[in-house]
Amino acid sequence: MATDVKVPTLGESITEATVGQWLKQPGDAVQADEPIASLETDKVSVEVNSPVAGTLSEQLVKEGDTVAVGAVIARVGEGGAAAPAPAAAAPAAAPAEATVAGAPVNPAGAGENVRPREEDDPAPQTAPTGDAALTLSPAVRRAVLEHHVDPSTIKGSGKDGRLTKDDVIAAAQAKKTESAPAAAAAVAPAATAAPAPSGERKEERVKMSRLRQTIAQRLKDAQNTAALLTTFNDVDMTAVIDARARYKDLFEKKHGIRLGFMGFFVKAVALAARDVPSVNARIEGDEIVYSDYLDVSVAVSAPKGLVVPVIRSADRMSFAEIEQAIAAYGKKAKDGTLSMDEMKGGTFTISNGGVFGSLLSTPIINPPQSAVLGMHRIEDRPVVRDGQVVVRPMMYLALSYDHRLIDGREAVTFLVRVKEAIEDPTRLLIDL
């Protein structure tokens, strides 16, 4: 008797998802609560677990299909015997699918490189490592598939020895380095005999993920709905850089986390929002909703696009709590494990394009929020201080805001307050 595998509840207001990847193929043995598929929603990736132990007998949808909450996407049969191979498959042909540590790879006809099956039986979803099992997150599984490495041979650097995406990439690079001389020697004669045609022009079409579609739609909606305007200023980072240099070792020793720039800016925004509360407000119909708390959405780059996890009540948090929250969210975004609750809400956004080298930009607000602060790279520039031209580490700041709610005077005042707090961090301590 087969058991139906249904799409689980995905969160408030989310009714459908896209099948991102099948983690198990028909005939594979599965354990109860073992992931068999990965779904992509508008915000995060969600794993679908098998409700019972047995054998995956049937896949009812394909990768890329859209499925509704509660829909049946697969069936799990009793027992652990593998299902017989299709009759149409030729014994001498290349294997239709390969398995790397239990994660399926598409057939070669789908346009992806595959590795021949090394064993007749599929490898289990978890590979034993000592007394513990090596459990792979969706992000790590994808990296294993892309780089064709054996996860059981890699030492994990994550919590409890778990593998991270960086571990897989490092192992793949080491493998490439070792095999480069032999590969170059093997390829060189072929390249001499049959040089690749010059001037070849190619195109590739890739379907947008649900996350990318949602990002595109929300950004366009913001442009169509809000009266967007951006005001700029620059800030001397000397005081913050000196404070970090003076206290970074003590801070890390006490709190177990590095002291970054974001904590200073979150604190500065909280201070400035008290003087200009409209930047922390939103429009609902014909009403303005003011918040007496500051929930900061911090834009984080994830493998599949930009995500904005929310630091709740950031105005009431210490520097250490802010930095710890940001570090935890950054790791989750990288591993693809952010939950929808962690990205809901937010009253103000901070986006740091400086980590990618951006000098200046005009960020777009994250509806229904009314303002976003853009940080940029720090670079030494000549400025005038006390009548003398000196070199200072300077950063451009950009505040994009909804002009329907925030006047130009208020936007400029807010940005000046942030600038003053960063150039004189003592203001953050004495609430000026």
- For residue 426, the model assigns a pLDDT of 87
Would you say residue 183 has pLDDT above 60?
no
406: Cβ contacts below 8 Å, ≥ 6 apart: 276, 278, 279, 370, 371
CATH code: domain 1-80 is 2.40.50.100
240: Cβ contacts below 8 Å, ≥ 6 apart: 261, 264, 422, 425
Domain spans of the chain, in order of start: 1-80, 99-116+126-179, 210-430
Top-confidence residue, 277 or 181: 277
Report, as an integer, the average pLDDT of 65-80. 83
Would you say residue 89 has pLDDT above 60?
no
- Categorize the per-residue pLDDT at 194 as very low, low, confident or very high, splitting at 50, 70 and 90: low
Q: What are phi and psi of 46, to 5 degrees?
A: -125, 135
Per residue in 10-65, pLDDT tens? Answer: 766 677 788 878 888 888 888 888 888 888 776 667 788 888 888 888 888 888 78
Would you say residue 402 has pLDDT above 90?
yes
* Alpha carbon 32 to its chain's center: 28
Would you say residue 374 has pLDDT above 90?
yes
- Categorize the per-residue pLDDT at 400 as very low, low, confident or very high, splitting at 50, 70 and 90: very high
- For residue 305, the model assigns a pLDDT of 65
Bridge partners (DSSP) listed for residue 128? 133
- For residue 214, the model assigns a pLDDT of 75
Would you say residue 102 has pLDDT above 60?
no
Rounded to whole angstroms, how far apart are CA atoms 395 and 237? 7
Would you say residue 150 has pLDDT above 70?
yes
User: How many other CB atoms are there within 10 angstroms of residue 400's CB atom?
Assistant: 23
- Categorize the per-residue pLDDT at 166 as very low, low, confident or very high, splitting at 50, 70 and 90: confident
To 5 degrees, how large is the angle CA 206–CA 144–CA 20? 40
**Active site positions, annotated:** 403, 407
- Categorize the per-residue pLDDT at 209 as very low, low, confident or very high, splitting at 50, 70 and 90: confident
Per residue in 316-350, pLDDT tens? Answer: 999 999 999 998 988 888 887 888 788 888 999 99
Report, as an integer, the average pLDDT of 375-387. 94
- For residue 301, the model assigns a pLDDT of 74
Q: Which of 160-169, 186-195, 390-399 has the lowest mean pLDDT?
A: 186-195
Report, as an integer, the average pLDDT of 110-123. 40
Average confidence score pLDDT of the chain: 79
CATH 3.40.630.30 fits 210-430, yes or no: no
Would you say residue 271 has pLDDT above 90?
yes
Sign of the CA dihedral running 342, 344, 347, 350: positive
Nearest to 112 by CA among 97, 131, 132: 97
- For residue 105, the model assigns a pLDDT of 39
Q: Which of 100-104, 150-154, 280-284, 360-364 has the lowest mean pLDDT?
A: 100-104
CATH code: domain 99-116+126-179 is 4.10.320.10
21: Cβ contacts below 8 Å, ≥ 6 apart: 37, 38, 63, 104, 138, 141, 142
Task: Determine if the peptide bond prior to 104 is cis (ω within 30°).
Answer: no
Nearest to 112 by CA among 65, 88, 147, 139: 147
Nearest to 335 by CA among 111, 127, 38: 38
For residue 272, what are its two tokens?
Answer: 């400035």
